[in-house]
Structure formats: C-alpha cells, structure tokens
Chains A and B, each alone.
Chain A
Amino acid sequence: MSDFILEIYGEEIPSSAQSLIENQFEKLFCQILEDNEIKYKDLLTFSTSRRVGVYVNGLNNYTNSKQVEVRGPQVDASQKAIQGFLKSNNLVNVKKLETKVIKDKSYFVFKKKTKKKNTSDILKIETPIILQSIKWVKSMRWGCHNDRWIRPIKNILCIYNNKLLKIKFAGLDSNNFTFGNYHFEEKKILYSNYLNYQEKLRKTFVMLDSSDRQKLILKKIDAFCKKNNLQFINDSALLKRISNSVEFPNVYFGSFDNKFFKIPEFLLKNIMSDKQDYFIFKETNNKLSNFFGFVSGIKVKKDNKLVEGNLNVLKARFSDASFFIYEDKKKGLINRLNQLKEIIFYEQTGSLYDRAKRINNVLKFIYEKLGKNNNQFENYLIYSNTDLATDLVKEFPSLQGKVGGFLANFENFPKTVSQAFSDQYEYEFSKSYDNFLTYILSISQKFDSILGYFVSKESLTGAGDPFGIRRSTLSIIKICIDKKINLNFSELFDFHKNLYLVQNLNLKIEFSFLFDFFQKRTVNLFKEMGFRNDIILASIDREFNPYAIFIRAEKMTELYNSRDGKNFLKAFKRLNSLNEDIENQSVEVNLLKKEEEKNFYNLIDHIKKNIDESKHDFIFENFNYLCQLSDTINVFFDNVIVNDDNLKIRTNRKILINKLHQVLNDNYRFSLLEI
C-alpha cells in the first residue's frame, strides 16, 4: 500500500477558488482512480490561502490485470478494415478473433488481457491533465507560459510512496519539498511522510484544514465575548472567507469611538463586515457594540500597531459615510424624485421615475385585488426607490432600500412606509415579521424588475443570475406562500403590461413566456420543499397563483398518500385509459339506460356545479365524497359495457367518459400524476 500527495503552493488564492479546487480535485482524482480500478482507502483535500492539495492513502501499487473485449469491424467488412484491426492488436490472422452479434450484426471481437499498470505511472500522466482540466470561474496566465491557474504557482510538491513523482505544469517541475508559512519560515521543508509533513507545517503556523482554522477563530472570539459580556454576530460566509484568507489565524480586537454611533447601525455593520471583513458584536441590550475583531496572518506580541492601523481605516470609512449621510439628509428623498427621471432602469424600459410610477400602480392594483386599500400610504409610495439617486447608495450599492428606509424615517414618513422601503429587497420574511406593505412593495418592485429585464433582454441564458431575475422570481413565490397572498399573476401581468403601454414602452413578451419561466422556478422550489415532481406539475394552473399552487400541492399530496385517495386515483386511471378525445358533443340523457350510467352522469353535473361556484378544492375536503366518486366510476366500468353493439349508445358512453375526464382533468390535472 502506498500514498500520494499533491500540493500546489503559490501566491494568495481567493477563498472561493479554494473550495472550487478542493471539490474538483476530489472529483477528478476519484474518477481517475475508479476508472483505472485502483483501490484506495481515503482521499482528502485541503487548502489554505497559499496552497491547495490532495492526499490519498491505502493505494494499491498496481492496477489489476483484466480481460477486455475490443470490438473490431463487421465480419463482412473489407479486407483492408480487417487487416487494420489485426495490425492494431499485433495479430497475424483472424484465428484469435471471435465473432459476436451486436444488434443483428456480426462483428469480430478480440478478447485480451490488459497489462498490469503501476499506479505511480498513471498518476504521473493524469495529474498534469487534471491540473489543466480544472473548470474555473476565473483563471489567469502569468510569465510566458499558457497554462492557467487561479494565481501564480511557486512550487509543486508531488510525492508517490514518499518519493518524488516527476510532473510538469505551468513551466514548473515538481519537487519533494514545500514551504512553510512565509510570515514565519522561508526555508524549504523536505517531505518525508504525510504525518511529518503535517507536523512540520504546523510548526511554521500552517493549519491545512479550513474547519480547524474556523474553530480556532471561534474559540478566541468566544473567550473575548465572555470577557466583555458581548454576543458574537456570526456570519458563516464571512467566517469562512476570513479563515481562508490565512494559513494560520491570529485574532485581534479593537474598538471605535462611541461618537460614530450617530451613523445608522446598518451602515456601521456594512462598513465593518462587508467592506473591512471585521467580526462584529452585540451588547446585552441587543445594540451593536463598538468592539470589532479581525484576523491576521502574523503573530505579534504587542498588537497596538495592528489595531491602531485598522482603527484608522475604520475612522476614515466612517468619516466618508458621515459625509454622504450629511449630503443625503440635506437633499432628502422628496427633493430627489426628479433625479430619477435621469436614471435609466434597463435599456428601453424608461427611467427609474417611470418604474416608480408603475410600482405605485401595481401596488394599488394588488391591494384592491386582495380587498384592501393603501390610501393612507399612497402619497409616500412614489419615493420607494428614490434612494437609488443618493450618494450613499452610489457608494454602498448593497444598501439600497436600507438607505431609503433611513431617509424616509428621517423625513417623518409613517413607520410602516419607512420599514417597507427598508426591507423591500429582502429575499424572504421571517414568521414574526409583520408589515403587509413590505410584502406587496417587495412583490411589485421585483415583478417590475423581471418584466423590465425581459423587455430589455428578451431572454435569460446561462446558469448565472447577474441581474438577480431568477432570485427575484423565487422570492416573489416564497413571499406569496409564506404570507398567504392569494395573487393571480396572469391578471397582474395583463395589468402591468398595460402600464408599460401607457408609458409608450413595448413589452414584447407574452404571459406564456413568463409562465414557463415562473414554472421552472416553482418546480425547483417545491422540490426543495419535498413535493413530488408530478404533484407539483399537476398543481400548477395557468393563472399562476403561487399560494393556490402551494395549497393544491399540499392537498394533492395528502390525497396521493391516503388510502381513499389511492383508490380514487386507480379509478381515475381506468377512466384515463378509456378516454378518447371527442370534441363538442353532448351526452344524450335519453340514451342513458342503466342506473350506473345515470349516476355517472349526475356525478359530472355535481362536480361542474361545485367548480362553477368556485369551490375548486371541494373534492380534497371530503374524502367520503372521494370514495363515492371512486365507487361510481368503478361500478360504471364493472357493469357497463362501453362498446355496446348499438353505435348511438356506444358513442354516448364514450362522450360520458370524456366529459367526466374533462371536468376532472381540466381542473385537477390528475393525468399528470404517476399512478
């Protein structure tokens, strides 16, 4: 048994790329080992800010020899083709070949034993290929060669069975040494074995495992919080990013002057966490603390210089924010409305002012549809996106909304309105969050963004979501479901399309296009919620009302899982299999001879009547009725011969089946269920 290690050491690797390389190393090396049927015990990957690697142990030194079958030309192929096949397998004549029939054609096959291969030889060939085949989001060249990596590579450690495995990549030959943490040790570290490698690196302050680094940071933070009676505001993405920015985390803490608390808390948080990558804390009264923490790659006895330096940067950033706040407060939201006329939303979709007007109208429409009114807020809502013209949002784009809320509050808008401005861009809302205006503003502006995008671009290709359109769609669906908002999007689309028309803007897409786009997102979201694919598809109606779809999917699942429901679906399956498309014909009542037929006919009538009274879900609500339904269908098929000798009766029965099928399937799409 042997082991293998590959470590690529180089200049600082961005955090996101570390996970990307680790994942692909794992996938690609596993693939190579499996393809060559090389047994191994464990395969693990590791990364720090300066290195990424893979380690495999318990490796078989050889591949097993095995019999393989090589397919040759057809037996009646030309002599030239047959000779070519013989030559390529070092054979003189066809005596050693066998014949095999594949899809009615007879082929020559050659059964041969593969040679044993050294695992080290395979890894030597495949490792550079793997390095070249990493699928990057971004990668670069450096120097004069054309190989790509995330940042320049300085050394390749490649060892098989504790001996150097010679490979070449990016103009470098592999070595049997690596380097420690360059803040502490610049000498080469010779590789002898994996345990020794880990130990030596640890001594020069390299922690190979990202989760170990995170644990160490959390331990230090925990001690600091206990000492100062604080609560850590944990942000797992930030913690991961920070722990990946070093080879060994040294945590330091500082505090800023209380005078900066005149800056709103959301801005202080944004500057510290997002701009400066600092850890932040809460006081026991839930207010933001003036303490902050940061991680450094170096370890110093006196941290004054480090803390002071970081504090100076923070002060300058806060001072800049104060400048913007001062300027923005001076001008205010109301006075900026005209500025929106100069800012184009998307190409061909008018200005942000046009958008503000559309959102305002849509809001009103939704309120009315839901039987409510927004009169008390009407005068304020035109300012919902005016913050996009402020200096603060230009400097801190991720704070759109929050800035609007802050300025609305400053200008004494009602609390409900300023909160809605502030939270409108949130993806979803917690159970305890309660502001109906926020939900409707959020849906309205996101829906306008989606339509605006499709007016400008017409399609959304690729896996990414640069304009956040996919995310906005999911958000709308989620809000409607979570907050029980019964909204019909086909109606909303028609209304919205008209708003564009009034503004002389040409919304070229039809609802069917948007329906497909919404449907895809719905299917994915509902699958994540645990719904079956067929149930989701059966629940989606053309009106596209996300909340109604959700309720239908829940009821359909309940039906699908119940005994009565299963019986009904079996009965429906019988109906479905005998259904034929018969257009525009009515059942002739006087031709209904048997009692079972008459009951069957009455059933159709009853279901129709309920649906006409908008009681669409009545069949889910009463399982006794469902049993009656199943019985009537089953009794009909058990006792009535559809293919009666009399043509009129036969046709009438087919129409009868078709009518029941139609009323059930048009409204409940049971035929989409896998029964």
Chain B
Amino acid sequence: MLTFQEIIDNLNSFWKKKGCIQIQSYDMEMGAATFHPATVLKVIDKEPWSAIFLQPCRRPSDGRYGENPNRLQHYYQLQILIKPSPSDSQEMYLESLRSINIDKNLNDIKFVEDDWESPTLGATGLGWEVQCNGMEISQFTYFQQIGGIDVNPVCLEITYGLERIATFVQNVDSVYKIKVNDSGMTYGDLYLENEKQMSFFNFKLASKNHLYNSFKYHEESAKTLIENKLPIPAYEQCIKASHSFNLLDSRGLVSVSERQAYILRIRSLVQSCCKLVKKNV
C-alpha cells in the first residue's frame, strides 16, 4: 500500500520524467494551487512551460472542526502545468494514476464535465472533474483565459487532490486515517488538531476589523506596485487580499452583493498584473 508521501513521490517522479520542472510551494496562504505565480504569471506568455509543484491550500469556510471525513480547511494540491497542452494529455494523466496504483481498467475513472472558472483570477478553462469510483480526485483543465487575457498556446492544468486520492488508494473512509509514512504516522496525527483549532479561528475568532483593514491594505499596496510596474510583488498582494476575503467570508461577514464586489476588486488587480507581465515579455 502506498503511503501519503509515496503518492507524492511517485507523482513527482512520473511527471519529472515527462519533462516537468519541479518547483516548490509558495510561502503564502492561497485557496488553490492555481493562485501560485507559477500558474498565473507563467501561462500568459507564448513560451513553453512544464512544471510540477505541491501547494498547501487554505479554504477557511471548508473547515468542519475535524468532524467531516473529507472536508478540510487546509489541504494539499499537486499541480501539473504543460504548455502547449499535449495531444496525449488524458493518456498521460491515466498513466500517472497507474503510478499510484489506480488502474483505469479496475476502477471507474470518469471525466465529468466541469467548466472551471476562478472569478477572482478572471480565469476560465474547459475540462472535467475526474472522479474515481464516484469520488473527485482531480481537476483537469485546458486554460482558455487568465486575468481576462486569452491563454495562447493553451495550457493544460491537472490538479490532484492528494488527501482524497490517498483515502482511495489506502482504502480508508477518512482523511485522518491516511498513513503518511511506513512507521504508522497518520494524517490525523499531523493535522486533526490543526483542523479543530483553525476552524474556531476561521469561523469565530478571526478579527473582523483586522480583516477589513488588511484587505484594504493589500489592495492599496497592489495598486501602488502596479503603478510602479512591479507585477510580481503586486500579484503577491492580490494573493494576500484574496485570503483576507476568504476569512471574511468564513466569518459570515460578506453579503452576496459585497461578495461579488470584493471578487471584482481582486480580479481587476490580477488583470492589471497579468497585463504588465504580458507587456514585459
């Protein structure tokens, strides 16, 4: 049986053999691996790009105080980017599943229509959510737009939901039962307490005033940096603003209309960053 870390190792080594450069996690809180600058700022130019990286993700409102078997406010995504998208994208993906003991002939691998979009990033893509015996294990997307700019050539993005995959591979019914290594350390040993405490913070204790102020601060900083034509640090401020917004949301402080307004504010900043990057290349 593959451990959690072996699953990561196998996928890393599979895609490195396919020519992907391994880069590292970004040191900021983000809702999805797509926010990594290696995605947003690298897919908009015309240059070929193949990369793999592991990214810790935080979605504050998905916390369940450690009580739900597969819903977490902090989890890991393994992300693959290949530009231009290769003609054998799906075959390669299915082959990568074999490297972690998921055989398409023994398991029901379904590509279920899922036209992905990230309103915050002004990004859209067409593709599927990939299900294995009914469970979503990956997101498979052909990027069409990012920051409101057409992605050309088209970039393939594959995102593996590692915890879900591990529960499947190890045949356990809760992410907390996942074996991380051979010595018996479980995912629960590492993260259950974190989930409990962080859920309290996300839902009940994150400071309302601080969050409003930090959102404003990061937004202002991003604007200044954009004016100074520094898209990389400006984009970092967008990531931070987005996390402040996610926390405001989990605290239940964002109404439906405000929600849309916040998203549009971040989106317009990301768009400016992307335009600057595109101009520079």
* Residues of A near any B CB (own CB < 8 A): 11-12, 14-15, 138-144, 150-152, 154, 183, 245, 276, 294, 296-298, 300, 305-306, 308-310, 312-316, 319-320, 323, 342-344, 347
Contact = CB atoms under 8 A, between A and B. Distances in A.
B135 A309 contact: yes
B256 A343 contact: yes
Given A144-B84, A305-B133, A310-B134, A152 B71 contact: no
B106 to A, nearest CB: 7
Nearest to B65: A323
B113 A142 contact: no
Contacts of A11: 89-90, 111
B228 interface: no
B280 interface: no
25 contacts: A11-B90, A138-B115, A139-B126, A141-B142, A141-B144, A142-B142, A143-B87, A144-B84, A144-B153, A152-B87, A152-B89, A276-B134, A298-B107, A305-B107, A309-B135, A310-B134, A312-B134, A313-B134, A313-B135, A320-B64, A320-B71, A323-B67, A343-B256, A344-B257, A347-B257
Given A151-B126, A152-B142, A276-B134, A315 B69 contact: yes
Interface in B101-160: 104-108, 110-113, 115, 126-128, 132-135, 142, 144, 152-154
B215 to A, nearest CB: 17
Q: Which of A15, A312, A342 has the most CB of B within 10 A?
A: A312
Given A141-B144, A151-B126, A310-B134, A183 B152 contact: no
B205 to A, nearest CB: 17
Given A141-B144, A306-B133, A315 B173 contact: yes
Given A294-B134, A309-B132, 4 more contacts: A143-B85, A297-B108, A306-B107, A310-B133
A143 B86 CA distance: 6
A150 B154 CA distance: 14
Contacts of A245: 110, 112
A296 B110 CA distance: 8
B133 A309 contact: yes
Nearest to B126: A140
Nearest to A311: B134
A12 B134 contact: no
A309 B256 contact: no
Nearest to A186: B91
A296 B108 contact: yes
A143 B113 contact: no
Given A151-B126, A309-B168, A342-B255, A183 B104 contact: yes
A306 B104 CA distance: 12
A314 B173 CA distance: 11
Contacts, number: 103
A401 to B, nearest CB: 17
A320 B132 CA distance: 20
A309 B113 contact: no
Contacts of A344: 255-258
A12 B89 CA distance: 12
B5 interface: no
A151 B112 CA distance: 12
B94 to A, nearest CB: 9
B126 to A, nearest CB: 4
A342 B253 CA distance: 9
B24 interface: no
Nearest to A154: B87
B158 to A, nearest CB: 13
B197 interface: no
A138 B142 CA distance: 13
A139 B108 CA distance: 26
A319 B152 CA distance: 42
Contacts of A312: 134-135, 167, 173
B64 A323 contact: yes
A140 B68 CA distance: 37
Nearest to A151: B126
B224 interface: no
A323 B85 contact: no
B70 interface: yes
A308 B128 CA distance: 23
A316 to B, nearest CB: 5
Contacts of A14: 113
Contacts of A154: 87
A276 B86 CA distance: 30
B95 to A, nearest CB: 12
B135 A306 contact: no
Contacts of B111: 11-12
Nearest to A13: B113
Contacts of B134: 276, 294, 309-310, 312-314
Nearest to A241: B113
Contacts of A342: 255
A276 B108 CA distance: 14
Which 4 interchain pairs have the tightest Cβ spacing?
A309-B133, A344-B257, A310-B134, A14-B113
Interface string B6-47: 000000000000000000000000000000000000000000
Contacts of B69: 315-316, 319
Interface in B145-189: 152-154, 167-168, 173
Contacts of A313: 133-135
Contacts of A141: 142, 144, 152, 154
Q: Which of B85, B115, B133, B144 has the most CB of A within 10 A?
A: B133
Given A183-B104, A245-B110, A312-B135, A12 B128 contact: yes
B84 A183 contact: no
Contacts of B127: 151
Contacts of A144: 84, 153-154
B113 A15 contact: yes
A238 to B, nearest CB: 14
Contacts of B70: 316
Q: Which of A152, A342, A344 has the most CB of B within 10 A?
A: A152
Interface string B242-255: 00000000000001
Given A140-B142, A344-B256, A305 B106 contact: yes
Contacts of A315: 69, 173
A316 B68 CA distance: 7
Given A316-B68, A342-B255, A343-B256, A152 B85 contact: yes
A300 B105 CA distance: 8
Contacts of A323: 64, 67-68
B173 A138 contact: no
A549 B112 CA distance: 46
A138 B114 CA distance: 12
B204 to A, nearest CB: 13
A294 B168 CA distance: 19
